[in-house]
Structure formats: C-alpha cells, structure tokens
Amino acid sequence: MADGLTIISAAKDTGSVCIADVSKTFRVEDRTVHALDKVSLAIEPGEFISIVGPSGCGKSTLLRFLAGLDMPDNGSVSVDGETIERPSLKRGIVFQDHRLLPWLSVQKNIALGLHSVAGSDLAKNGRVRYLIDLVGLKVSRKHCRTSFPAACRSALRLPAD
Ligand SMILES: Nc1ncnc2c1ncn2[C@@H]1O[C@H](COP(=O)(O)OP(=O)(O)O)[C@@H](O)[C@H]1O
Ligand SMILES: [Mg+2]
C-alpha cells in the first residue's frame, strides 16, 4: 500500500489453477457449437502455460472462464480452491484487441482498473500518473477519443495494478 491504494500482488505460493471437466456449448441460431468438451488442466503456482491450438478450438473461451467473464455449462474453474464466478482484481487479462473506451481520456481509461480498489481519488490519480510515466506515454494524460496513437493503445491494454 505504498501509495495509499490496496493493490493486490501475487504471492509466490498462490495462483494454483484447477480446470476440471469443463464443457461449454453455444447456440448460434439453429446451430450448436461445442466450444469445449470435458477439458481438464492443473497449473501450479508460478507455472507459465501456453495454450496452443487452431482458431476456434476454445482457447479464448477457456481464458474467459479464468477471468470470470463467462461460466462453463459443466465442470469448474478455480484458483487456490476458490471457484471463479465473476471478474476479480486478483486476476488480470490482456485482450487481443484494445478494449478501450474511446469516449474516455487516457487517464480515465487507466483509472477504470482502479474503480473497485479502495483508496482516495488523490491516491488513484497519483497511481495513474505513475503508470503513464512508467510506460512512457508521450501524450497528454487527458488525450481523448479517436486520436489514441497505436503505442498508446498498446500500453493502455495493461491492467492498472
Ligand atoms: N459468445 C459466443 N457465441 C457463439 N459462439 C461462440 C461464442 N464464443 C465462442 N464461440 C464459438 O466457440 C468456438 C470456440 O471459440 P474461441 O474460444 O473463441 O476459440 P479460439 O480462441 O481458440 O479461437 C468457436 O467455434 C466460436 O465461434
Ligand atoms: Mg481466441
């Protein structure tokens, strides 16, 4: 809590992931898509895993479960024994595309990640300024809308903590 914010950082012995017998089916008009069928995977704390497979094999669907953005039809996904049911600041995800809110400034896009973090606006603004300087964004902090330069969009994809 160096800057007055409660930022969660991973301890070395946490982050044990258990994906157990996970299945997911999507209905697309009159078609049924079996995105995942009884997938299981255990990841130890500190382990670095790459999930590789052809387009459409279910990689993103699995990652969305880990992020708590979607739920499996069957099976369970847990971290440190806790079933993932919703997004949490304990877990970050960097999307393939930028997912910026174009109607908000650089500053406000970054601050979104701190929305549910305890701390004063002063401390949060300080954190945002620190992060902008850390990644060397050469734009005004209030820089807004469609004019985000490409490098700026990439830097903004990173979680705010
Ligand atoms: N929200 C959704 N609605 C309908 N079909 C979906 C949805 N999300 C994923 N799918 C389908 O599920 C399958 C797996 O998708 P996805 O997990 O995105 O694959 P990958 O990331 O490996 O390319 C694909 O056939 C995709 O079209
Ligand atoms: Mg994908």
Given the candidates 3.40.50.720, 3.20.20.70, 3.40.50.300, 3.30.200.20, the CATH classification of the domain at 17-83 is 3.40.50.300
Please work out whether the CB of residue 56 comes within 6 Å of at least one atom of ligand 1: yes
Tens of pLDDT, residues 35-71 = 999 999 999 999 999 999 999 999 999 999 999 999 9
Let me know: does 78 contact 72? Beta carbons within 8 Å: no
Tens of pLDDT, residues 97-130 = 878 888 888 888 889 888 888 889 999 999 998 9
pLDDT at residue number 2: 47
The residue whose CA has the least distance to atom 9 of ligand 1 is: 61
Position in ligand 1 atom list of the atom nearest CA 57: 22
Where exactly are the structural domains of the chain?
Answer: 17-83, 106-156
74 DSSP β-pair partners: 23
The label of the residue with tokens 């945002």 reads: 128
Neighbour tally for 29: CB within 10 Å: 4
Let me know: does 123 contact 3? Beta carbons within 8 Å: yes
Position in ligand 1 atom list of the atom nearest CA 53: 22
Supply φ then ψ for residue 92, to 5 degrees.
-115, 155
Give the integer Cα–Cα distance in Å for 79 and 11.
13
Position in ligand 1 atom list of the atom nearest CA 27: 4
39 DSSP β-pair partners: 22
Please work out whether the CB of residue 61 comes within 6 Å of at least one atom of ligand 1: yes
Give, in degrees to the nearest 5, the angle at Cα 152 between 150 and 156. Answer: 120
Ligand 1, pocket-test mutation among 19, 26, 55, 69, most atoms within 8 A of CB: 26
Q: Lowest-confidence range among 29-33, 78-82, 111-115, 147-151? A: 147-151
The residue whose CA has the least distance to atom 4 of ligand 1 is: 26
